[in-house]
Amino acid sequence: MKKIVVIPGDGIGKEVMEAALMVLNALNLDFEYEFAEAGHECFQKYGDTIPEETIKLVKKSDATLFGAVTTVPGEKSAIITLRRELDLFVNLRPVKSLPGVGGLFSGLDFVIVRENTEDLYVGLEEYTSEGAVAKRVITRRACERICKFAFDYALKENRGKVTAVHKANVLKKTDGIFREEFYKVSKDYPGIEAEDFYVDAMAMYLIRKPEDFETIVTTNMFGDILSDEAAALVGGLGVAPSANIGQKTGIFEPVHGSAPKIAGKNIANPTAMILSTTLMLKHLNKNKEATLIEKALKKTLKKGIKTPDLGGKHTTKQMAKAIKKELLKIKNSYSNQG
């Protein structure tokens, strides 16, 4: 039995999590769920955005589903705290076209592999007499393991090319190390093409010819920016799932925020959260089940059953129920064939 921690969070996080679990539970998997708290409402109750009890539960789990949380100004980020505590060094952001969601392109299928632990996100800033200075931390160890993950992922997913993104022409030492480690790692994967681009060029190429890319690997800050840009190509953050992966476990979450303005209105788009569950299933080596959910989601979208942000008129729960219905149909047809 797999132990799954569920952190619904705040705002629409609770609504999209409920929708995702409705779909996921239709598979009758051998999962044991344990609910935990984090975020703004948690802070109001306990004075802590991420209690130690939540961290302990996540550390003991096989995987964690994380909804969305509202930031508490001046307090620690729940998700960043978990990434650091569990050394979740990979942020995986698939970019995949879906039917009927209004993306700028069709037929896209690539992934951005973002280093998740260092760069400017270490938070080493200080004021000076002239303003402020931020320290950018790039280590060879972190560069090597994120590049190795990218090549291993490409190999596993039958992707023939890995593209490194950096700014080594300006950041000669930090990004110079990243590029060096990328090409060192690439030598162990002779069957996969390795190339690199400057980040400004990549920002343009993602608009002009995104179909040219399969697996993109980059540093923390560049990955943060490029992955949001890439999400816009396929319909926005409402359809963008993500995974935070380490050596032992992973946290799977939609990219969107808690959207307090629409919370409680039953109109939040559950797509990104549902797709995040498929990333979790793949991480747990349940690829067949992940594929079933993806197929059910696509069938539902093709029928025009979608929330207002996607141009539809359906509620969160209506969309989730429709996906569950399609999932059960597909599942039963497979059972009958077997």
Catalytic positions are 121, 167, 200, 224, 228
- Looking only at the bridges linking them, the beta strands covering 215-218 and 63-68 are unpaired
Q: How far is CA 335 from CA 229, 324, 329, 332, 338, in A?
A: 40, 16, 10, 5, 5
DSSP 121-177: EEEEEEEETTEEEEEEE--HHHHHHHHHHHHHHHHHTT--EEEEEE-TTTSTTHHHH
Please report which residue ranges of 234-270 form alpha helices under DSSP H: none
Give me 69's structure tokens.
């949380």
Quote the CA–CA distance of 79 and 10 in Å, as a whole number: 13
Residues 6+ apart with CB under 8 A from 219: 114, 115, 118, 119, 138, 165, 166, 175, 178
137 half-sphere exposure, CB direction, 13 A CA radius: 10
Burial class (CB in 10 A: 0-12, 13-18, 19+), 106: exposed
Both structure tokens of 87: 């050394």
* Residue tagged 């793949």 (tokens): 282
| List of residues 6+ apart from 108 with CB closer than 8 A | 95, 96, 97, 210, 211, 233, 234
Phi and psi, residue 104, nearest 5°: -75, -25
